[in-house]
C-alpha cells in the first residue's frame, strides 16, 4: 500500500484499495494520480482495464465536498460504462459519503431528476445529460471537475456536438481530464479548445502481446457459423466474447448457438437497459459462458477472465479490432483472438492487417459438422449470417469458394500467400461427420 500512499491518495481511499486487495498501482495510476491531485488538466492515453477509474476517481473523491451540489461530471459513451464507473466510484468513496449517481437513456427520466437535486458526482451519457440540460433539471454551475472517459469512443459514436455543448455549460475555471484509448486528431482538437495547459501521458497497452495469440480461418461463406460452433465446442476456455457488427446478426448468432446447446446470450444497444444490466451481471458471474455482442461491449467495460475473443464479423475499423482483442490476454493471463473470415470480410480484414501492425497467423480450416440454422424472416433481398444466399444449412458441403483469402488474384486477396500459394482446394468441408 505504500506505493499508493506515495501518490498522495488519502488514507480513506487507501483503506478501500487494501480491502479490494490491490497490490500496487498500475502504470496509468502512477503517471496520472499526482498530476490529478495537483489540479492539472490531463490527457491520458489509456486502454480499457488499465485502472483509469481509480486514477481519476482519487481526484474526484478527494476534491468533492458533500452538500455542495454537483461538483464533478464524468461523461461516458454507453449506459453500461455509466453504471460501471458510478459503481466503482461509490466503492472507492464508501468512507467519504458522496452522493454519486448514473444518468443515461433507456430508463425513466423522472427518478433521475429527483436524484440530481442531491448529487455531488454525476456519471452520464451525453444524450441524457443534454436532455437534463434542456429540461433544466441539472445544475452544472458548480462543476469543478470534468472527466471525458473513453473520449475517442464518444466522438466515434457521433456525440461531438453534445459533448461540446455540455463542456460549454460547465464553468471555465475547472479541472478537465480526458481519458482515451487513442489520441486522434479530433481528440487533440477538443483538448486545445477546452483544456488549459494539459499534461499528456500514456501507458503501455494493458494487453500483453506475448500472451496473446491471434489467428484467422478463411472459410467458404456458408461455413462461417458451422466453424464457430466447432471451435466453441472443441476448445475448453474461460469466458468468451463473440463480436458481430450488427444487432440483427448478434441476435441471429446467439439464438443459433443456443440451438446448438451452447450457453450463449446476446447483448447490444437494442435491448432495454434492465436486460443489458442483467446480462452483464450473469456474464461476470460466469452464469453464461459466451457473450455475443456488438462493439458496445468492446470498450470500457471491466470484464475479467476473457480467454477467447471471436470476430464472427470482421471489425470495420482497425481501432475497433484492437479494442475487441483487448478484452483478453490481460493481467498476465494468456488469451486468444480468432477471426472467421469469409468473402464479405475480405476488405475489412485487409485494412486491419495493413493498419494494426499485428501478426495474425492463418490456420487451416478443420472438418466441421453440418449445423441446422434457425433462419429468421428475412427482408426483401436481405442476407443474414449464414453467408451467400442465406443458406438453410451452415455446414453445406462443397468446395472452397474462389480460393478464398491468400489464394485470390496476384499472390492473394491481401497480397500474401501464407498458404503456400494454393489456389483453392476442391475439398468438401461441411457434410462430413
The backbone torsions φ and ψ at residue 258, rounded to the nearest 5 degrees and listed phi first, read: -60, -40
Residues 216 and 356 sit within 8 Å (Cβ to Cβ): no
Grid cell of 280 as nine digits: 452483464
State how far the Cα of 173 lies from the Cα of 171, in Å rounded to an integer. Answer: 5
Q: Residue with C-alpha cell 457459423?
A: 225
The pLDDT score that the predictor gives to residue 205 is: 57
Banded pLDDT at 424 (limits 50, 70, 90)? very low
pLDDT tops 60 at residue 127: yes
pLDDT tops 80 at residue 396: no
pLDDT tops 90 at residue 32: yes
Which segment of 214-218, 244-248, 306-310, 429-433 scores lowest on mean pLDDT?
A: 429-433
Whole-number CA gyration radius for the chain: 23
DSSP secondary structure string for all residues of 287-342: S-SEEEE-GGGTSS-----EEEEEESS--SSHHHHHHHHTTSS-TT--EEEEEEE-
Domains and CATH numbers, the chain: 2-202 (3.40.50.300), 207-433 (3.40.50.300)
Q: Is the model's pTM score more than 0.75?
A: no
Task: State the Cα torsion 122-124-128-131 to the nearest 10°.
Answer: 30
Residues 413 and 347 sit within 8 Å (Cβ to Cβ): no
Q: Output 339 or 384, whichever has higher pLDDT.
A: 339
Amino acid at each position: 500500500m505504500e506505493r499508493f500512499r506515495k501518490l498522495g491518495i488519502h488514507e480513506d481511499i487507501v483503506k478501500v484499495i487494501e480491502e479490494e486487495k490491490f497490490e500496487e498501482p498500475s502504470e496509468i495510476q502512477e503517471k496520472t494520480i499526482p498530476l490529478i491531485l495537483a489540479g492539472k488538466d490531463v490527457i491520458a492515453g489509456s486502454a480499457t482495464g488499465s485502472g483509469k477509474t481509480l486514477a481519476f476517481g482519487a481526484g474526484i473523491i478527494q476534491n468533492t465536498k458533500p452538500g455542495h451540489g454537483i461538483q464533478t461530471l464524468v461523461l461516458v459513451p454507453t449506459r453500461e460504462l455509466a453504471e460501471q464507473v458510478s459503481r466503482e466510484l461509490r466503492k472507492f468513496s464508501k468512507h467519504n459519503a458522496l452522493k454519486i449517481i448514473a444518468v443515461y437513456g433507456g430508463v425513466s427520466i423522472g427518478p433521475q431528476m429527483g436524484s440530481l437535486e442531491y448529487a455531488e458526482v454525476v456519471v452520464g451519457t451525453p444524450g441524457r445529460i443534454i436532455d437534463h440540460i434542456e429540461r433544466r433539471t441539472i445544475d452544472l454551475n458548480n462543476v469543478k471537475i470534468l472527466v471525458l472517459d473513453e473520449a475517442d469512443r464518444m466522438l466515434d459514436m457521433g456525440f461531438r456536438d453534445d459533448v461540446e455543448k455540455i463542456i460549454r455549460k460547465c464553468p471555465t475555471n475547472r479541472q478537465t481530464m480526458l481519458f482515451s484509448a487513442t489520441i486522434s486528431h479530433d481528440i487533440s482538437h477538443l483538448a486545445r479548445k477546452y483544456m488549459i495547459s494539459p499534461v499528456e501521458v500514456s501507458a503501455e497497452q494493458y494487453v500483453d502481446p506475448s500472451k496473446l495469440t491471434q489467428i484467422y480461418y478463411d472459410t467458404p461463406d456458408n461455413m462461417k457459423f458451422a466453424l464457430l460452433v466447432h471451435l466453441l465446442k472443441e476448445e475448453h476456455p474461460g469466458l468468451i466474447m463473440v463480436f458481430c457488427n450488427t444487432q440483427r446478426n448478434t441476435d441471429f448468432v446467439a439464438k443459433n448457438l443456443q440451438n446448438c446447446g451452447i450457453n450463449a446470450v446476446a447483448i447490444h444497444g437494442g435491448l432495454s437497459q434492465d436486460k443489458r444490466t442483467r446480462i452483464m451481471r450473469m456474464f461476470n458471474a460466469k452464469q453464461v459462458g459466451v457473450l455475443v455482442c456488438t462493439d458496445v461491449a468492446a470498450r470500457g467495460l471491466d470484464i475479467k477472465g476473457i480467454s477467447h475473443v471471436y470476430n464472427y464479423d470482421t471489425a470495420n475499423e482497425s481501432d475497433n479490432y484492437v479494442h475487441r482483442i483487448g478484452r483478453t490476454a490481460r493481467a498476465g493471463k494468456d488469451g486468444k483472438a480468432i477471426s472467421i473470415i469469409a468473402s464479405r470480410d475480405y476488405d475489412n480484414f485487409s485494412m486491419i492487417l495493413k493498419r494494426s501492425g499485428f501478426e495474425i497467423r492463418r490456420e487451416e480450416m478443420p472438418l466441421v459438422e453440418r449445423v441446422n440454422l434457425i433462419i429468421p424472416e428475412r427482408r426483401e433481398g436481405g442476407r443474414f449470417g449464414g453467408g451467400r444466399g442465406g443458406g438453410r444449412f451452415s455446414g453445406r458441403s462443397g468446395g472452397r469458394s474462389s480460393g478464398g483469402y491468400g489464394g485470390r488474384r496476384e499472390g492473394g486477396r491481401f497480397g500474401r500467400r501464407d498458404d503456400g500459394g494454393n489456389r483453392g482446394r476442391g475439398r468438401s468441408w461441411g457434410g462430413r461427420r
